[in-house]
């Protein structure tokens, strides 16, 4: 376990004691965010399969990928919130993942707006 802490930056902190009385609320809000984005992703997928026969437009594909990445981002945020992982390398990787997720979501929304305004 010490090798993981030194090399990888992993440690275990009990999520129910890390923030005192609000720890359960913080954990529940993270779970609700993950479930919300996941449900939205499923609905976008079902919508695009139902209304587009053949190839889905790039706007909906990018929006779907963006929501999926934001879902994964919310899931990855839990270890950072509770400081289960730490270190500069993990922070940089998490930041890059966050930028990619938000960029693909914004680009998908931009393409959707462009379709509507045509």
What global pTM score does this model have?
0.76
Q: With bands split at pLDDT 50, 70 and 90, how would you rate the model's confidence at 86?
A: confident
Which residues on neighbouring strands pair with residue 10, listed in sequence order? 85
Which residues on neighbouring strands pair with residue 85, listed in sequence order? 10
Query: In this predicted structure, what is the pLDDT of residue 42?
Result: 92
Q: Does the pLDDT of residue 50 top 90, yes or no?
A: no
Residue 26, Ramachandran bin (φ over 0: left; ψ between -120 and 50: alpha; else beta): alpha
Rounded distance, CA 51 to CA 76, Å? 32
């Amino acid at each position: 376990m010490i090798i993981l802490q030194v090399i990888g930056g992993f440690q275990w902190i009990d999520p129910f004691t890390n923030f005192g009385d609000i720890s359960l609320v913080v954990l529940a809000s993270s779970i609700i965010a993950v479930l919300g984005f996941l449900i939205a992703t499923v609905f976008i997928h079902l919508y695009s399969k139902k209304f587009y026969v053949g190839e889905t437009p790039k706007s909906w594909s990018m929006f779907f990928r963006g929501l999926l990445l934001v879902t994964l981002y919310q899931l990855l945020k839990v270890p950072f919130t509770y400081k289960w992982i730490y270190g500069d390398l993990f922070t940089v990787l998490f930041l890059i993942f966050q930028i990619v997720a938000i960029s693909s979501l914004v680009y998908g929304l931009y393409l959707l707006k462009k379709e509507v305004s045509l």
